[in-house]
Structures are given as structure tokens and as C-alpha cells.
A and B are shown apart, each in its own frame.
Chain A
Amino acid sequence: MLEIFRNMFRRKLRTILTITGITVGIFAFTVMGSMALRFNKMISGGKSFITGQITVFPKGTSFTTGTTGLLPLDVLKRIEKVEGVEAVAAGVELALKEPDPDNPTGGAGLGIPPTIEGTDLDSGHRNRNWTTLDMKAGRFLQKGDLDSYVTVGYTIATDNNLKVGDKFAIRGRDFEVVGIVDQTLTGPDSYVFMPLKPARELLIESNPFLKSLKERSDEAAKISDAALASLPAESRKQILEARAFKFEDVTQVAAISWQDGQDPEAVVDRIKEQFKDEVMVLSPAKMGEQIDKASAIFNAIILGSAVIALIVGGFSIINTMIMSISERKKEIGIKKAIGASNSSIAWDYTLEAGFIGIVGGVIGMALGVLVAILINAKTKASGAEIFLIRAWFMAVVVGFSFVLGIIAGVIPALRASKMKVVDAIREL
């Protein structure tokens, strides 16, 4: 065993260069793999959420430009009557903080920026896959809660140093934290859940167009019917239009649950059919497929990086071992002459390659984890940790590098073991 280590460093520079090759490959593998873990975790959480309900957006919503319309209350009430629909929950979403114009998505590309989720506590809607969230402390919002109560996600709580009972100022308004959701490694970590009413108010406040509609509507409401009747027709029409804006119509998204025993896709088709001019319906099955496609591409990229690590690292090990073996041909001859079996020769060289692999693997893995931790620390401020570091994955990476070394070492080692003693001895 000791001999194997000494042999590794008989040609220090060459061994170090080979190890460096492995290190680079394994580093890439670790970094990309940790990113994939994070991404897949996020995706699978999102997938189980999106496939646990039927999600409805106003017609004209664009996910790429972020444009969104509103879902009038009347439409939601009519959707509720569609056959198979159990409940419809209105929802409002907005960024926790006023977006920075220089970084409008608020994240580092990957990850979910801190978001306010206005939650309809009275609807009776339930997501099939996310019935409850595990709580780290306190409780989730419930029916009848005060408008000033919020439940916050794990990342929000950590970043803002929140405990249950703390005051939390959001967009200039004070809220009280009643619960902290346990880490999910996906969406809910960066959510602030609040009742629908304050969320709507914050949304209107943040949106100049909605704000002006609301102000005009409030002004119009102050005018008595008697006063209205005395106004000229033109003005009367304007005031009636202003009054038509209702606070309850400020809904950006609705979650629909289906009754037990109903086929969600059939319910989706019915809603699509009846409301094709008003809403855009996301089918659980189709969304699931879309998400799978996206994560398949991402995973292929990760797998690709692992394969490159394998090829580059593997060849450099093979090369080094072939050189080492031809240099030590005589030594192999001596060992065989004094009785070494073929398998013990093959084993020694295979292990040597395996150790080169594992040393490179441990260094590459350590560097990868270090870089992942540093980048995570940097991007955490914006609510998006890009890498998920898992002990099992680190073990897999090191194991992989060892196996890589072994596989790359096998061919040269077998060549060494089959060397004819007389040929090797003649090198004397």
C-alpha cells in the first residue's frame, strides 16, 4: 500500500498534472451537480404545486414580459359553477420589495425572488399535492386571521432575522409574523403569505394605473345617486365607469381545485371551453410535461459535464499509467520473477490509478463545494441560493472519481500484468 503512494510521487510533476486534470473535471462536476440538485429540487417542488391544482390567469398574461391583467370577481364566481370545480381561490402576487430597476427580476437568474403571496383564506381551495406546509415555528395563516398577520418562508425569515411574534415592515406597512414555514428548498422559502385584502392593497399601491383607478372609483363612490342624476350625461357615464372598478376585481391568478373523483383534465377542458375569451388555463398534466422537459434539458447539461470530466480525466490517467508502466517495466519483471501473481501486479497499478482519481476527486470536490458556498453566500442576499450542497452528492462525486481512476487504470494495469517476464528482464 505504502509502495503505491511512493510510486505515485516518483514522478511528482506528472502525477500532480494528472491529478490537476481530474481536479478540474471533478470541480466542474461538483459545481454543475450542486446547481442541478438545487434546480431539480426547486423544479420538483414547483411541479408538484402546479400539478396539484388548476391555475388560471387573465387572458393576455405574458410570462416573458411580466404583463398581467386582472381576473374580475364575476368571472371567478362563474368558474366556481363549472361542473367538477370544488373551489376557486383568488390570488395576488407582487415582489416583496420595490424592484431594483437595474435588476428587475431580483434574483441571480436562478431561484425565486422574495414574493408576497396574497392568499384567499375563505375559499376552501386546497392544492392536491401541497395540502399543508410543515411549520418551523408558529402556524400557517387560517380563516379569520387579521389582515396584519403574515406567515413567512424559511429564507425570508433567515434573511430578515424574523421570529414568531416579530413585527415585519413590508412596503411601508407593519405586519406581524404568526408562523415560519420550514425549509422546502423551493417556492415557499421565499414567500410571504398574507391575507388577500392587504396584498391587494399593496398591489394597488405599487401600481400607478391600478392606484388611479382605485382613487377615481373611491371619488366616484362619494357622489350620491341623487347628485349623479343631476349631472350631464357625459360626466355621469365617466363616473359610472369609475364606479365599475371594484377592489375585489384585483385578482391576478386563481387556483382551482377539483372535486374528488373528477378528472382534472376534463375540468380544465370545460373551463377552457366556457371562458376562452376571458382566461388562460394551465392544465396540471401539460404543465407537468413542460416542467419535465425543462429539467430533462438541464439534467442533460449536467450529465454532459460529468461525461466530459470522465473523458478528460480518464484519458489523462490512462496516459500517465501507460507511461509509468513502461518506465517500470523492469520492476514489473522483477516482481514477477520473484513470484508476484498477475493479479497482484494488476491490482497494484489499478489502485495507483484509483488513488490518483480519488486525490483529484477530493480536491476538485472540495474546491467545488467551496466555490458553491461562496457564491451562495453572495447571492443569498437576493434570495436565490444557486447551489444545493448535499453530503450524499459529495460522497458520490468522490466515489465517482475513484471509480473513474480504477476504470482508467484497468487497461494499462492489465497490460502490465500480462507482460512477459523475460521481455521485462531483458531491459536490464
Chain B
Amino acid sequence: MSRTLIQAKNLRKKYQMSKTNIVQALDGVDIEVQEGDFSAIVGPSGCGKSTLLHILGLLDKLDEGEYNLDGLDTTKIREKDANQIRAKKIGFIFQGFNLIPSLTALENIMQAGKYGGLNARQRKERAEELLDVMGLQERKKHKPNELSGGQQQRVAIARALVNKPAIILADEPTGELDSATSKDIIDLLKKLNQENNQTFLMVTHNMEVAEMCKKIIRLKDGRNA
């Protein structure tokens, strides 16, 4: 039996856009992720994919429902604890790479290590190790704007991996990449999944990418489809 990392039931979330316009982004979604999963959440625009990912990543709060993250009841935790959990248990990869522009590739990776509680020496070692895995040793002193999209996304993946998270959440990781680079990135994630049993949960609207995943979770209108 593998470990259940995410067990969420009946997730509900609504956003008040204006006085009269209330959007029910999630309307009772169930989701389960096991250790070692490589899953994709798919669905049309506005189906609640990103909201679901934000809630699972503790970036946003639930209105209703149950959510256990690696055995922890997240409905009871405070913002301060959520920061810590994000730092240690969850890795994030974003569509726009979202590296800190003033930091070099190496520093971007090390910064996440700092939030995860690594000391300066550990951060450096871990970041160097990941740069090797990503094949980015030569680019480590470069700032994000001096890197290609694929390279930036590799730095972002390395950053997500620094604290050896239980799960990596990826929001459209290939959204801004051409198809060849997209394939490279997904292959890289897959390799990490196979070799290190690293769990991934990604949101995508690209079916080609979704087909490469082991499991597909479909959403429509804020519900499981």
C-alpha cells in the first residue's frame, strides 16, 4: 500500500467577483493522490483547475470540504503553519516560470532552501546537485532573463525540488513553451517520477501533455467530470 498524500472530499470554493457576480469555482470536488502518482488535472478554461491547485497547495482557503495533506487536516491550520508546510512538503512549478528576476539561477534555487530551513552550506550543496540533474551547471550564474524558457523552467523545477517535497504541484508547466521543449520538460518530470518516486500533480489544458501522465483527473464546472 502506498502512502496517500492528498485526500480531499467535497471541496467547495466561491469567489465574489462583484456584488452580484459570485463564481462557484469549486462545487464539490473529490481528489486523491498517492505517493508516486504522476497525474494531470484537465478540463476547459474556468472549470476550477487552478483554484483546485491553489487550494491543494494551501495558497487559498476552502469554503467547505475536507482536505488531508499527508495525514494532516489542513482545514485547521493557520497561515503561518501553511507557509511552513508549503516550504517543506510542497513544491510549486508555475506557468510563467516565476523566478526572482534579481537572483541568479543558483540563488533562485538556494532561496527556496532557505525557506525550507536548510543552512547555507546545505542549500549550496543541494542546489549544485540539482543543477547537475537539470544539466544547468554552466548557466548557474545567469539571471532568469539570460536563460531560455526551457532553462528557466528547469531552474523552477530544481527550485521546487530543493526541500525534497512530498508532492510537486505544477500549474500549466508547459504553457509557455514550444512543443519540443514541452516534451523535454515532461520527460524530465517523468524521469524524476520514475527514478525518485517523486509525486507530481499538474494542471494542464494540453491533452498531449495529459496523455503522457499516468492518471488523468477531469473537471467540469467545478465538479469531477
* Chain A interface (Cβ < 8 Å from any Cβ of B): 2-3, 6-7, 10, 330-331, 334-342, 344, 420-422, 425, 428
Contacts and interface: CB of A to CB of B under 8 A. Distances in A.
A421 B88 CA distance: 17
B63 to A, nearest CB: 14
Contact of A428 (B83, B86, B95, B107): B95
24 contacts: A2-B107, A6-B103, A7-B102, A330-B98, A335-B100, A335-B111, A337-B94, A338-B92, A338-B115, A339-B83, A339-B84, A339-B86, A339-B88, A339-B115, A339-B163, A341-B80, A341-B84, A341-B87, A341-B115, A342-B79, A420-B60, A421-B54, A422-B59, A428-B94
B100 A425 contact: no
Contacts of B173: none
B211 to A, nearest CB: 26
Contact of A334 (B79, B90, B98): B98
Interface of B: 54, 57, 59-60, 79-80, 83-84, 86-88, 90-92, 94-96, 98-103, 107, 111-112, 115-116, 159-160, 163
A428 B91 CA distance: 18
A337 B57 contact: yes
B94 A339 contact: no
B83 A342 contact: yes
Contacts of A336: 59, 83, 86
Contact of A342 (B60, B80, B111, B159): B80
B166 to A, nearest CB: 13
A410 B22 CA distance: 35
Closest 4 pairs between A and B when the two form their complex, measured CB to CB? A339-B87, A339-B115, A6-B102, A421-B59
Nearest to A338: B112
A338 B107 contact: no
A334 B156 CA distance: 11
Contacts of B112: 338-339
A171 B1 CA distance: 109
Nearest to A6: B102
Given A339-B86, A342-B80, A422 B92 contact: no
A235 B94 CA distance: 117
A337 B86 contact: yes
Contact of B107 (A3, A7, A339): A3
Contacts of A344: 115
B83 A425 contact: no
Contacts of B84: 339, 341
A13 B95 CA distance: 32
Given A428-B94, A428-B98, A337 B59 contact: yes
B159 A338 contact: yes
A415 to B, nearest CB: 15
Given A340-B83, A425-B54, 8 more contacts: A3-B102, A7-B102, A336-B59, A337-B57, A338-B92, A339-B115, A339-B116, A428-B94
